[in-house]
Structure 1
Amino acid sequence: MKSTIIKYGTYGFFVGLIIFIIHLTFGKNLSYGTNAIMGYIAICISLSAVVFGLKHYRDKINYGSLTLRRAIIIGTLISIIVSLGIALADFIYTKFINPDWFDNYYKMMRDAGKEDEIVEMTSFTAGLFMLSLVTVIGFVISLISGVILKRK
């Protein structure tokens, strides 16, 4: 179980890190809505490591058996590792690649008349938010994958 979590978590970590930095760097001139959609696509691609990890564990490690409980545990732990990669990418982007991102975002929100929706963030808190978001999405993917891949 541990080797599966580390192996597929590492795959997802690097996929998330690379895809997220590429999408943020080359998407600088795109709208925030388009960037958000691309971000969710990058998260889903990275979290595909959960599905592959669960399938590998069921077929190669656990002799064709997988319980829902075990799927949720393994999938969530893989997604935590994946979320570290995406959070690191978000931190690197907002701290070093585009340090004006928050100022530009706040200006866009004010211009759109959404001043009441502005939440002050830093690169660190944005990274923590991404860590939490990706982990929750990973949990949901683990749950769905566990139901689909479950065998006793």
Structure 2
Amino acid sequence: MQTTIKKFGIYAAVTSAVLFLAALYFGQGLDFSTQEVLGYLTIFASLTFVFFGIKHFRDKENDGLVSFKKAFIIGIIISLFASLGFGIIDGLYVGFINPDFGSQYLEYTLEGMKTTLSPEEFEIKKAELTQQMEAYSNPFFTGMFMFFIVFVIGIIVSLLSALILQRKS
């Protein structure tokens, strides 16, 4: 079980970092909403290794059997690898590659809100978002935030994968 977790966990972490960097490089001219979609696709692509890791364990290491509990545990641990990969690369992105990301994203968000909110509501939201983006400009906070987002999605993927792949004797 440990070799499967390490193998597929490393695959998930490396995939998350490589796809993040690829989306960063190839998506430079895209707007933030398109980049967000690419980000979520990258998350789901790296978390496919949860499914394949559980399946590999069941079919190759455990004689075609795996309980829901064991499958879920394998999935959660592989998800931790993917989450760690995303957290590290996102922290590096905000800290070193694009330290102005927080202010750029704030400007983009505020431009969209100007047309949909009244002037009073806009000023309230602007103050809230400005305060939030100060925290988001911190590489450690950004890395932890991305870690938790990916991990929560990983829990859901692990749950679904365990339900689909469980096979008892």
TM-score interval (norm. to shorter): over 0.9
Q: What SS does structure 2 have at the residue aligned with 1:29? A: coil
Ranges in structure 2 where 5+ consecutive residues have no aligned partner: 114-124
Aligned pairs, number? 152
The SS at the match of 2:167 is coil
Q: Give the match for residue 28 of structure 2.
A: 28
Q: How far did residue 126 of structure 1 move?
A: 1.1
TM-score of the pair, normalised by structure 1: 0.93
Shift of 1:110: 2.8
- The whole-number CA distance in structure 2 between the counterparts of 1:105 and 1:117 is 14
Contact 1:54 1:75 in 2 (8 A): yes
Amino acid at match of 1:109: T
Identical-pair percentage: 41
Deviations 1:82-114 (A, max 9, x none): 111111111122122211111111222233334
Structure 1 stretches of 4+ with a deviation exceeding 3 A read none
SS in structure 2 at match of 1:52 = helix
Q: CA RMSD in A?
A: 1.4
Name the residue aligned to 2:167: 151
Aligned to 2:65, the other structure's residue is in SS state coil
Distance 1:63 1:2 in 2: 16
Match of 1:102 in 2: 102
Cα distance in 2 for residues equivalent to 1:129 and 1:100: 17
Higher Cα radius of gyration: 2
Deviation digits for residues 19-48 of structure 1, max 9, x if unmatched? 012212332321111111000000011011
